[in-house]
Amino acid sequence: MSEIKFSTEEKQIITNKIQKYFELELDQELGQFDAEFLLDFFSKEIGGYFYNRGVSDAKTVLDERIESISDALYEIEKPVSR
């Protein structure tokens, strides 16, 4: 898996959410640098778990669609004598 990277805008949005969480839920002020550091930590250490879950979910959807297509193709087959 390649490293998880965010655009500058995405990183700003995420770090703002981290700061707001710390302020509202933990009653602690977290600076921009610390929020970015925490984001980098989560991206490197646990990001793969979220990424893999997304891949697994996508595979499940794809498998369901392929099965549906396979069923549809079976339904339109013409009977033939052997």
Please write the tens of the pLDDT for every residue from 1-33: 677 889 999 999 999 999 999 999 999 999 999
The alpha helices in the chain, defined as continuous H runs, are 8-26, 32-45, 47-76
Which pTM does this prediction carry?
Answer: 0.72
What is the band of 51 on the pLDDT scale with cuts at 50, 70, 90? very high
Dist CA 47 CA 38 (whole Å): 12
DSSP state of 2: P
30 neighbors 19 (Cβ within 8 angstroms): yes
Mean per-residue pLDDT over the chain, rounded: 94
Q: What is the pLDDT of residue 20?
A: 98
> Per-residue pLDDT for 59 more than 80?
yes
Dist CA 51 CA 66 (whole Å): 22
51 neighbors 4 (Cβ within 8 angstroms): yes
Dist CA 36 CA 18 (whole Å): 9
